[in-house]
Amino acid sequence: MGSSMKLTVACRCNGVKIELTGSPILVSVCHCDDCQRGSAQIERLPGAPKILDRWGGTPYVLYRKDRIRFLEGRELLIEQRIPGEKNTKRLVASCCNSPVLLDFEPGHWVSLYQQRFDAPVPQALMRVQTRFMPPGDPPEDGLPRHRAFSFGVITRLLASRIAMGFRRKDSALL
């Protein structure tokens, strides 16, 4: 995947469209308690799509904030926050209640909901925060499972921050 690669993310009704340039930082399924609550909150909106897998996982594709460009419908995005979560907002397309992305505001990356990608969909590399996974049969998809964040996640985030340069304006998305 080269730096000129372009992928598109769209809500279900195509009212919101986002273009992504280059390779993602990481593709992972997050099982943390906040993402379980946040995804469940969006799933309860009228007509919203299913987000969580049967193990409470939300699949995300992480991109640098300077590699994301709003093509259409930016004004349709609304913020969803869960109680007690101060620095994180989830942007939902108000036209069809599709989740679009999660923004950890101090961070230099966004986490896009994997279900919103046009083909080719980047495949998940790992499951993280699996200590929050509900009891029962674990997934047998061959993905490495990390009880918290893996060293690989932190390394990739740091490497992408360095590659981005240290321009402060890049951490402001919306």
Q: Out of 9, 11, 32, 157, which residue is the one contacting Zn ion (CB under 5 A)?
A: 11
CA distance 76 to 108: 23
Identified binder of Zn ion from the candidate list 27, 61, 82, 93, rule CB under 5 A: 93
* Nearer to Zn ion (CB atom), residue 36 or residue 98: 98
Q: Which residues of 93-108 are buried (b: 16+ CB within 10 A; e: fewer)?
A: bbbbbbbbbbbeeebb
- In the bound state with Zn ion, the residue whose beta carbon lies nearer, of 97 and 160, is 97
Indicate which single residue of 95, 121, 143, 173 sits in contact with Zn ion (rule: CB under 5 A): 95
Specify the residue, 61 or 91, whose C-beta has the smaller distance to Zn ion: 91
100 binds Zn ion per the rule CB under 5 A: no
Residue (91 or 96) nearer to Zn ion, CB: 96
Q: Is 9 in the site for Zn ion (CB under 5 A)?
A: no
Q: How far is the CB of 98 from Zn ion (least distance, A)?
A: 6
Q: Is the dihedral of CA 129, 55, 100, 1 positive or negative?
A: positive
Beta-bridge partners for 111: 62, 102
3-state helix, strand, coil in the chain (%, to 5): 25, 30, 45
Indicate whether 48 belongs to the interface with Zn ion (CB under 5 A).
no
Chain centroid to Cα 75, Å, comes to 19
In the chain, which residue ranges form alpha helices assigned H by DSSP?
33-43, 151-164
Please report, as ranges, the residues that interact with Zn ion according to CB under 5 A: 11, 13, 15, 93, 95-96
